[in-house]
Amino acid sequence: MLTFNNYNLQVKNKVLLENTNFSFAKGQISHILGKNGVGKSQFAKDLLLNMSGLITPEISDNVTIISSFSNVPNDLSGKELIKILKKRFGVNPVEHLADSLHIENISMDTLIGQLSDGQKQKLKLLSFLLEDKSIIVFDEITNALDKQTINDIYLFLKEYVAEQPEKFILNITHNLSDLKNLGGNYYLIEELKMTSFEQQDDVIAAYIEG
């Protein structure tokens, strides 16, 4: 378990989380819901940057965050990116993850900057997940994508989670279909607390009512 006791987070004089206790399990997706501004993305950043002063190096050194602010080089082609990744991480890991993401449907000769948002997202997932950190944080990774790409990502994540029983996988989202399609564990940030819910319907109701 990844456990936080009496956790506090304050950013620029704004208290986001206060004296809250929660934990995340390995081998399952932990979905984190919350209204805009409650601190979901700031919590993710804290895992990496230790703004709270409560994050141990064991955590911060082993976190990968994939968000709308995570980028792959726009001036490279897909083919050039794959070549760089294979040199850095090895041929087999790259090809296995690439097959799972079905990047064969992407034009590899096209510059990444000219690809669709969904195609860029797949290459982003490929690039960052190859780092093979033990804590993976997805921050709104299905936001503003077309339905087909979202379905592709759902299928990929189900396979990825099944293959990675030792990883902690957090999914920060506003997209309730993430919960319905992926299952897992459920959390809501509200009133300065991170609260866990056993039932999907309960966390969705609390999120909507909040």
**Does 193 or 183 have the greater pLDDT score?**
193
The tokens describing 75, both together, are 């001036």
pLDDT for 123-144, tens place per residue? Answer: 999 999 999 999 999 999 988 7
Q: For residue 69, what pLDDT band results from cuts at 50, 70 and 90?
A: low
Domain 2-62+133-209 is of which CATH architecture?
3-Layer(aba) Sandwich (3.40)
Residue 177 has a pLDDT of: 93
The tokens describing 47, both together, are 């895992």
Q: For residue 92, what pLDDT band results from cuts at 50, 70 and 90?
A: very high
Q: For residue 105, what pLDDT band results from cuts at 50, 70 and 90?
A: confident
Are residues 183 and 155 in contact, defined by beta-carbon separation less than 8 angstroms? no
- Over range 8-30, report the average pLDDT: 95
Using a 10 angstrom Cβ sphere, with 0-12 exposed, 13-18 middle and 19 or more buried, the burial of residue 135 is buried
Residue 104 has a pLDDT of: 87
Phi, psi for 93 (deg, rounded to 5): -60, -40
- Over range 18-24, report the average pLDDT: 97
Average pLDDT, the chain: 93
Q: Residue 210: is its pLDDT beyond 90?
A: no
Q: Residue 112: is its pLDDT beyond 90?
A: yes
Where do runs of H (alpha helix) occur along the chain? Answer: 40-49, 57-60, 78-89, 91-101, 117-129, 147-163, 176-182, 200-209
Return the residue matching tokens 């293959």: 163
Q: Residue 70: is its pLDDT beyond 80?
A: no
Residue 209 has a pLDDT of: 86
Domain ranges of the chain: 2-62+133-209, 72-131
